[in-house]
Chain A
Amino acid sequence: MSADVLPYTVKPHPVTGVYSGKLGVWLFLASEVMLFGALFSAYVLTRTGAPAEGPAVWPTGEATHLSWKIGGINTLILIVSSVTMVMAWAKCKMNNLASARKYLIVTFLLAAAFLFLKLTFEYIPKFHHGLVPSKNNFYGLYFTLTGLHALHIIGGMIVIAYFIGPGAKLWEKDPEYYTNRLECTGLYWHFVDLVWIFLFPVLYLM
């Protein structure tokens, strides 16, 4: 029995009120909260336990060599990409695939812009100046947290690209199914955005 003949793959379950995929994505996001939650806890414990002097001292403000401007622009980019993601889903609901695709392309490009800024203005110059993960635990956590977040962005971009391209065939077969899958993608995308909303103040401003 293949996936599309199982009950509640597309239509919501009368008791839980959601289709299976949506419930699955929410559960996945719960586990993601625990993943990033553990890393943020590690941040809190490492920072509060950092020595007062020496090379492992916790850098703040100027000493972090992080530009809040680049971080701020990237925050803005991700927030806008969340809006375009919702728009893509809304256009599907309005039965307009062509328009939905355009919004998906914009979302994809915004994600690419985020990664471009991150790489050219942050990662590469940092490595040139010897600000590598082994410099101290601040940079260790900075690269671990933002690196893992960047991997999530790349994962999201792959999924979005799939729904712009080959995945869109599903629309002809079952528009509601396609719209649902886009909704799940959107939930994930908002979560990735939300993680950055936490990362930005923690790493750049505090």
Chain B
Amino acid sequence: MSHDDHHHELSFWRKYVFSVDHKVIGIQYGITALCFLLFGFCLMMMMRWQLAYPGKSLPVIGGLLGEAFMPGGVMTPDFYNSLGAMHGTIMVFLGVVPMLVGAFGNYIMPLQIGAPDMSFPRLNMMSYWVYATGGVIMLASFFAPGGAAASGWTSYAPLSVIATQGQTWWLIGMIFLITSSLLGSINFIVTICQLRAKGLTMFRLPFFVWAQFVTSFLLLLAFPPLEAAGVLQLMDRVAGTSFFLPEGLVVSGQQLIHGHVVAGGGSPLLWQHLFWFLAHPEVYVLILPAMGMVAEIIAANTRKPLWGYRALVYSTVFLGFMSFVVWAHHMFITGMGTKLGMFFAATTMIISIPSVVILTALVISLYNGSIRFNVPMLFALAFLPMFGIGGLTGLPLGLPASDIQLHDTYYVIAHFHYVVAPGTIFAIFAGVYHWFPKITGRKMNDALGKIHFVISFIGMNGVFMPMFFVGVAGMLRRGYDPTAYEANANLMYLVRLSSWSAWLLGVGQLPFIFNFVTSIFAGKKVEENPWKATTLEWAAPSPPPHGNFATVPVVYRGPYEYNTHDREDDYFPQHLAAEA
């Protein structure tokens, strides 16, 4: 394989904007996704004001948003619903997935398999720009008449079908985001199959690559049904069909009339089935790459091989497969029938087994390690109990009997946020601190990182732990004003605790933002392998040049050879030949 070093200099546009280099695209994804994560979080911080102090004027920001959204500084119920729907959509589809797959996957995965680039570089560029377009459409929808989509991130019919124009924007935006993910996932699978370095067999792949591999299959096969559902809902809204509008639907006291507004004969359940057929695998898209990153960081910082590497891989593959047959556990109370409920409860209990295997293997990996408590490791260690809490509290939701009580309460919010917020988001932070030296050639500041970690850890738990209690006590998750129900009155101190923690969490991100920006220019310079890790990305220069490796790497051993050989160094990189 020949490396053509570019003798001619690329223009600014080709190099930084419409680049086909997987590393530039990864950085583009990363910056965009971090901005969306911050934006989605800001939406939530505003909602927390309304929840903690219903009907009170929001200081400063309330006055800025104008009379349409916040008359007198108090948000309208419609605006509150928009914020909720857009928070979910932005966090999942524009923040976390692009960050895990688009940014980390794009940047790290080709390096870890010793490839010069992705298999389809131009397709890679296209997926970023399709994603960016989808993001712009989503943001623009705030200015649509009636505001942005307000039917939740799940866009349940029939509410979403009769909603204002923002919902149409949402659907078009989603079609862009889905297309972007599809193109990306094809690229990932082909790259992992075709471009692995010599000697890098499937069972020598770092676990992160396996996680990306399975994730890509989920994106590839689960997203198209949502695209189909999106097209059908678009037809309902634009062409007057009624795929999701049932016979005799009554809206605001008026029945929708045949031949004028609605043809009838549709089923709102159809939307839920199609939506959750995507959205449950999506949950694993949100968690698998995070587990992969945590595994990398744990192995490097315990200085011993991952415990049960093969068990991790088999569990991940099984998890990916099972994630396609559990979707209707989101629908136990829809009246789809007890027989279906039984089936999905059983599959849900089965899918918890590989999740527990993965978590257990990661915890056992810590045993007898000489752990380095650096910033990425702190976040990775915090991931384990946080994901554990999130996972275990999911079990009562997977059984119909207990789900009936808990469904649509704050308990559900607490459960899945423990998986995705202190879980996946912590893994993202861990990844940022861990791979920052590879991407920039500089390290992020340690002290600021530890401050960021402590505040985030307290903040996250402060936000979500009270929600379990609030939820079990019966507070509904989509309520605009908790005080509307008298029973919630004595829960308000917990609601306010959540809100204050959310704002604390917001303050806690300032050291991160400051650290991130200043470290790019003024961070401590480091050599190519500052963590003394074994996987291939650390064999490339920091930052890796166009084409990645100075010499084409050849792989001689498994990914986590720490303290396994009698060598001077306590680690044995994958690309070094055995010494004679």
Flag if B239 contacts A133 (CB, 8 Å): yes
- B264 at the A interface (CB under 8 A): yes
Contacts of A7 in B (CB 8 A): 1, 194-195
Contacts of A2 in B (CB 8 A): 20, 121
The answer for the CA separation of A35 and B221 in the assembled complex, in Å, is 9
**Closest residue of chain B to A39, judged by CB?**
B228
Closest chain A CB from B472 CB (angstroms): 35
Given A38-B224, A133-B241, A134-B263; A3-B122 close (CB under 8 Å): yes
Do residues B227 and A35 form an inter-chain contact, with CB atoms below 8 A?
A: yes
Interface size on B, as a range, is 35 or more
Do A38 and B195 have beta carbons less than 8 Å apart? no
Segment at the A interface, from B33-41, B50-58, B265-273: B265-273
Q: Is the CB of B224 within 8 A of A50?
A: no
A58 closest partner in B (C-beta): B265
With A27-B220, A42-B232, A133-B239: A56-B265 Cβ-Cβ less than 8 Å: yes
**Are A16 and B235 in contact, with the CB atoms below 8 A?**
no
Decide: A1 and B4 in contact? CB cutoff 8 A. Answer: yes
* Cβ-neighbour of A30 out of B121, B221, B263 (below 8 A): B221
In the assembled complex, the Cα of A42 lies from the Cα of B235 at a distance in Å of 13
The answer to the question of A60 belonging to the interface, with a C-beta cut-off of 8 Å to chain B, is: no
A-B contact count (CB 8 A): 158
Q: Which of A167-205 contact B (CB under 8 A)?
A: none
A16, A23, A24, A50 interface centre (most CB from chain B within 10 Å)? A24
Contact A140 to B241, CB < 8 A, known contacts A28-B186, A51-B247: yes
Instruction: Contact check, A144 vs B247: say whether CB atoms are below 8 A apart.
Output: no
Question: Is A136 in contact with B220, judged by CB distance below 8 angstroms?
Answer: no
Partner of B264 from A35, A42, A56 at Cβ < 8 Å? A56
Greatest chain B CB density within 10 A among A38, A45, A137 is at: A38
C-beta contact mask, A42-75 vs B, less than 8 Å → 1, else 0?
1001100111001111000000000000000000
Interface residues of A (CB under 8 A from B): 1-3, 5-9, 13, 16, 20-21, 23-24, 27-28, 30-32, 34-39, 41-42, 45-46, 49-51, 54-57, 132-137, 140-141, 143-144, 148
27 cross-chain CB contacts under 8 A: A1-B3, A1-B116, A1-B546, A1-B547, A2-B20, A3-B20, A5-B4, A6-B116, A7-B1, A20-B119, A20-B190, A23-B189, A28-B182, A34-B225, A38-B228, A39-B231, A39-B232, A45-B273, A46-B265, A46-B267, A56-B242, A135-B263, A136-B263, A137-B263, A137-B265, A140-B235, A140-B242
Interface set of B (CB-CB < 8 Å, partner A): 1-4, 20-21, 116-117, 119-123, 182, 185-187, 189-190, 193-195, 220-225, 227-229, 231-232, 235, 239-243, 247, 258-259, 263-267, 270, 273-274, 277, 546-547
